[in-house]
Chain A
Amino acid sequence: MPETVTSRRTDERTSFFTFVKNHTMDLLAYAGLAVMLILFLIFNSGPRLMYNFSAVVQAAAVYSILALGAVFIYSMGFMDVSLGQQVGVYVILMILIGNKIGGPAGVVVGFLVTLALALACGAINGAVSIFLGLPSIVTSLFLMFFFTGAQYLLMESTGENTIKLLQTVKPADRNTYTLMLIGIIALLAVIGTYFFNYTKLGKYTRAIGANKVAAKQSGISLVKWQVLGYMALGFCAAVASFVLLTRTGTAGKGTGSGYAMDIMICLILGGMPLKGGMKSKISCALVGAFTYTLLSNVLTTMGVPLNWVNFVKACIFLVIVLLTCRKPNGVLPR
């Protein structure tokens, strides 16, 4: 078919520009990360560079893990506002169960119970909204209220402002800990990439985000994959809770608060389209989580005054989204 061949050839010439055009968002997200990294290196050059590097890894670990899970539901165009409170309750439960049973076994049991709970919540989050015909944000709103209450009640029942896990879970050596975190992030990134790019889970969640009806008519069970997507997030939430616990060893009433919004900001900075669909990428999670952490770190190390930090962050956020999310043509985006 000579006709087809010619058209392919002509388009190959323009494919470089097409590539740049189609990947503007990703390229800019990476550029943002690169700039942050450069600023980080400039302001942290000195004896504490290694320390600061590990501090960034620590701070970014929880964000990365949660964001990796969140990609699965954001790719369907959903969001979960209950994430922070879920993490809070999971950490508290891990401590309570861990202390009750005692020893490393207690921690393991605590983690497993939490994992089961997280997966169950994911399933509820995904299934309820479909069965009851609710927007997914409503179920997550419900879970947010529920978990906020649960966190309050759990902490009240302990009678303490903060509770501590008796078993040490954090390696004593800083470098070991950093390596452990990098290991966990890398492992989850590999698992996440595998599931998002090479299995039905990722393909179907993206398809659901891009066009629910078309996905259904292509034989995708909305209930099943929505539930599995949320369960993937649940899994990550449990792991993230554990990582958070290794970091602090304690938990309180406000543990985890704000993560839902932070994760959303991370993903936006990573170039994730909030409406989901085929442009969703797993890399958004890592790029966004590290950009966000570095931004916060760089602002403090640069010595930006406390009351100006939020302002500068807001401006940078606006600049980044203006560069990445701008829709130049057509009607105003909604």
Chain B
Amino acid sequence: MEKEPIIEVRHMVKNFGPTRALRDVDVSFYRGEIRGLIGENGSGKSTITSIVAGMQKPTSGEMFYKGEPWNPASMVDAQLHGISMVLQEANTIPNCTVAENIFAGRFNEFAKMNSFLSMKKVNKAAQEILDSFGLSHIKATDSINKYGFEDRKLIEIVRCVSDETEVFVVDETTTALSLEGRQLLYKLIHKLKDNGKSVIFISHDMDEILEQCTDLTVLRDGEIIGHLNREEMDAPGAEKKIRFMMVGREIGDAYYREDYDSSHLPEVALKLDHISFGPIKDFSLELHKGEIIGFGGLSGCGMHEIGRAAFGLEKLSEGKVVREGKEIKSCLDAIESGIGYISKNRDTEALILEGSIGENIVLPSVNALSKGTFVSPKAEKKLADGEIDNFRIKCYSGKQWVNTLSGGNKQKVSFSKWTAKKSDVLIMDCPTRGVDIGVKQFMYHVIAEMKQQGKSIILISEELGELIGMADKILIMKDFEVTHEFMRDPKLSETDIIEYMI
């Protein structure tokens, strides 16, 4: 290679207990490129960048930054040396001002003798930076609580990037951003690239990667599978090739549902009867047996709330949710009448992270398993093991803790809670969020199978492709109202839908 790498990683190994996240990885990053990193969940892409950016230490291996050995003590250390990273999760600090958020790690620059702080200077500097990023609508002295998720993400980006930034890591940040926010970020990374800096861009969104990146590295199971340059990325069939590299086998065309039969049984499985709560007014819906109804829209359009209400989690001011003639007033009612709910907040709402796979799977079914007061551990284990096998959850036993699993496997656990409970109506809120292609394909297969079995599904998703590929009927929401209904149709495209969302 004629170019001098800015970062060089050699023989990097990272173990989390018995899990091997990185196995002897060699990779280099160069100035003036936007390097995409792609791979399934648990393939190690975030692990590499988090080590480079000082968030964690490698188990073994070496790194070089600008030719010098590189061992950052912390993220700050890395940032001071010019390596910044924006994380996937929300990383802003609630109840603090925007200015405090931006300069949290750098207060000392505004303090006399490193201790006496002048908030005036902090606020002023913060506003200047915001303005320079074109974010004048954000006020430095406001509490961050005033701003939505997207603005917060942008504030985080502002916090990360400064004149000294040499390497900028974007770890699946774009999922949280609207089109506008994405454009802002794209502009920023291209500017950095043009200035001879290096950008490392991690995303699940293949289209985005193909559009924005100059180079691409594919990882699988903690190993580098291959590199693609711009020409290779533009070559026909690149997408399929990349998918193959990521999964390690042919995905085949059977990704989404293949049939276009949007028929369903005549019985109504779940009825939302003129419900009103919060900003949602007079909403009605009939879900039939064997039907998949998809909900789409931008975040904040109210579709997630519909899902919660259907599960009895929202207190209705008017109307009612009815299943088989019974009114659903609480999630307990919902579960007992055979409704299951997969929350979009998997780690905080759907799963008990500090609990075993078995305990999680069995939890909704404990009631049904108990004879008198007794709950047989054998029956529990049988049920859990059955689901672990059905869903091919990667683990050594049902006793393994959920927080040791990868995102995809966690999501499988959260699915299996309801199949174990034999729920007939499933409300899925972003069921494939943060899940890699292999697992996604598996999930779609499961959902299609459920339809065959006559189960009814509400599929709430931020991914239009998923809705088009899976749902019998798609309801698009905007400002807490349904703006349009689409029926299942092979000709339906994302662009048809988007206009009703914005």
User: Which residues of A line the B interface, CB within 8 A?
Assistant: 1, 3-4, 7-8, 10-12, 14-15, 18, 21, 195, 197-201, 203-204, 206-207, 210-211, 213-221, 277-279
Instruction: Give complex CA distance A7, B396 in Å.
Output: 7
* Complex interface: stretch among B72-80, B147-155, B252-260, B341-349: B341-349
Instruction: Please name all residues of chain A whose beta carbon is closer than 8 Å to the beta carbon of B268 when the two chains form the complex.
Output: none
Could you give 28 example pairs across A and B, Cβ below 8 Å?
A: A1-B392, A7-B395, A11-B395, A11-B400, A15-B396, A21-B17, A198-B373, A198-B377, A199-B373, A199-B374, A203-B363, A203-B366, A207-B355, A207-B359, A211-B348, A211-B351, A214-B348, A214-B349, A214-B350, A214-B363, A215-B363, A216-B331, A217-B313, A219-B334, A219-B336, A219-B364, A220-B332, A277-B354
Contact A210 B335, CB 8 Å, known A8-B397, A200-B366, A200-B373: no
Cβ–Cβ < 8 Å partners of A4 in chain B: 389, 392, 394
Contacts of A21 in B (CB 8 A): 17
A-chain residues with CB within 8 Å of residue B392 when the two chains form the complex: 1, 3-4
Asked if A207 contacts B352 (CB within 8 A), the reply is yes
User: Closest CB-CB distance, B462 to chain A, in whole Å?
Assistant: 20
The residue of chain B having its C-beta at the shortest distance from the C-beta of A195 within the complex is B373
State how many angstroms separate the Cβ of A68 from the closest Cβ of chain B.
17
The answer to whether B178 has its CB under 8 Å from any CB of chain A is no
Which B residues are CB-close (under 8 A) to A14? 17-18
Residues of chain B within 8 A of A3, CB atoms compared: 392, 394
Bound complex: CA A172 to CA B85 (Å): 74
Residue contact A279 to B354, C-beta cutoff 8 Å = yes
Q: Within the complex, which residue of A198, A200, A214 is in contact with B352, where a contact is CB–CB below 8 Å?
A: A214
- 18 further A-B pairs in the complex, CB-CB below 8 A; given A210-B352, A214-B348, A214-B363: A7-B395, A10-B396, A14-B18, A195-B373, A198-B373, A199-B373, A199-B374, A199-B375, A200-B370, A200-B375, A201-B373, A207-B355, A207-B359, A210-B353, A214-B350, A215-B352, A220-B332, A221-B332
Q: Is B373 a contact of A210 with CB atoms below 8 Å? A: no
- A218 to B364, Cβ gap below 8 A? yes
Contact in complex: A217, B366 (CB < 8 Å): no
- Complex Cα distance A1/B389, Å? 9
Contact status A278-B375, CB under 8 Å: no
- Give complex CA distance A120, B373 in Å: 22
Q: B417 on the interface (CB 8 Å rule)?
A: yes
**Contact, CB under 8 Å: B343 / A211:** no
Query: B266 → chain A, closest Cβ, in Å?
Result: 29
Query: CB within 8 Å of A: which residues of B?
Result: 17-18, 311, 313, 330-332, 334-336, 341, 343, 348-356, 359, 363-364, 366-367, 370, 373-377, 389, 392, 394-397, 400, 417
Chain A residues near B17: list those with CB within 8 A.
14, 18, 21
Q: Which of A195, A197, A198, A278 contacts B355 (CB 8 A)?
A: A278
Q: Are B366 and A198 in contact (CB under 8 A)?
A: no
Report if A217-B374 is in contact (Cβ < 8 Å); known contacts: A8-B397, A14-B18, A279-B354: no
What is the minimal beta-carbon distance from A265 to any residue of chain B, in angstroms? 24
Q: Which residue of B lies closest to A273 (CB)?
A: B354
In the bound complex, do residue B396 and residue A278 qualify as a contact, i.e. CB atoms below 8 Å apart? no
**Cβ-defined partner of B394 (8 Å) among A7, A216, A277:** A7
On whether the beta carbons of A204 and B396 are closer than 8 Å, the reply is no
Q: By the criterion CB–CB under 8 Å, are A218 and B354 in contact? A: no
- Known A-B contacts A4-B392, A8-B396; the reply to A219 vs B367 at CB < 8 A is yes
Contact A207–B363 (Cβ < 8 Å): yes
Q: How far is the CA of A1 from the CA of B388 in the complex (A)?
A: 12
Kindly state the separation between the CA atoms of A21 and B18 in the bound complex, as whole angstroms: 12
| Residue from B335, B375, B396 having most chain A Cβ neighbours under 10 A | B396
Is there contact, CB below 8 Å, between B352 and A217? no
User: A200-B375, A207-B359 given as contacts; is B367 within 8 A of A11 (CB)?
Assistant: no
Cα distance, A207 to B366, chains bound together (Å) = 12
User: Contact between B355 and A18 (Cβ–Cβ < 8 Å)?
Assistant: no
Using known A-B contacts A211-B353, A277-B355, determine if residue A218 contacts B377 with beta carbons closer than 8 Å.
Answer: no
In angstroms, Cα B367 to Cα A206, docked, is 15
Out of B313, B350, B352, B394, name the residue touching A278 (CB < 8 Å): B352
